[in-house]
């Protein structure tokens, strides 16, 4: 019975995550930003998921992993800018990855990044096949791909844990 209740709570919170990720994607496509409020809501949902899963110790673990992920990607963003003198990853993307860390932890990060980068490469290939010039300066919002990666990774983690 407890397992059924746990899955019920997960899918309720997961549905809210899907809505937030959809909204985040639309805003990033239209305006080129990921609002801090959406990142915060995604992180809070991840913390709630952790508390409902195994209690406050899991929430602390989720927050710790999110902080590590955020620090790593902030550092990578700075190093890339120092090296190329151009932004490669937006600060909203970095904050999103930190928020995603509350959901998937460090262990899920490679899967999220694989899904997101594969999706972005497919999109760029599709744009190029459609006749659009793609150069090093071509900007593509990465938030929708990250959001899709988070949704799929969180779902895979839940389903594989069954």
Separation of alpha carbons 31 and 139, rounded Å: 12
pLDDT at residue 61, as a whole number: 97
Which of 57, 33, 53, 36 shows the shortest CA–CA distance to 103? 53
* Mean of pLDDT values over 71-86: 92
Q: What pLDDT, in 10s, does the model give residues 33-65?
A: 999 999 999 999 999 999 998 889 999 999 999
Distances (CA, A) of 13 to 16, 120, 153: 5, 26, 15
Q: What pLDDT, in 10s, does the model give residues 10-36?
A: 899 999 999 999 999 999 999 999 999
Per-domain residue ranges of the chain: 2-160
Q: What pLDDT, in 10s, does the model give residues 90-118?
A: 999 999 999 999 999 999 999 999 999 99
- 59: helix, coil or strand? helix
Q: Say whether pLDDT at 2 is over 60.
A: no
pLDDT higher at 85 or 72: 72
Separation of alpha carbons 17 and 14, rounded Å: 5
33 φ, ψ to 5°?
-135, 160
């Amino acid at each position: 019975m407890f397992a059924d209740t746990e899955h019920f709570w997960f899918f309720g919170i997961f549905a809210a995550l899907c809505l937030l990720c959809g909204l985040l994607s639309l805003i990033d496509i239209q305006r080129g930003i990921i609002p801090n409020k959406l990142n915060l809501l995604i992180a809070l949902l991840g913390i709630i998921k952790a508390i409902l899963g195994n209690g406050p110790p899991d929430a602390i673990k989720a927050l710790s992993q999110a902080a590590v992920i955020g620090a790593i990607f902030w550092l990578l963003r700075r190093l890339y800018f120092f090296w190329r003198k151009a932004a490669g990853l937006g600060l909203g993307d970095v904050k999103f990855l930190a928020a995603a860390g509350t959901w998937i932890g460090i262990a899920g990060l490679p899967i999220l990044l694989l899904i997101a980068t594969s999706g972005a490469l497919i999109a760029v290939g599709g744009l190029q096949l459609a006749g659009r010039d793609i150069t090093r300066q071509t900007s593509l919002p990465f938030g929708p791909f990250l959001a899709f990666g988070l949704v799929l990774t969180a779902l895979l983690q839940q389903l594989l844990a069954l």
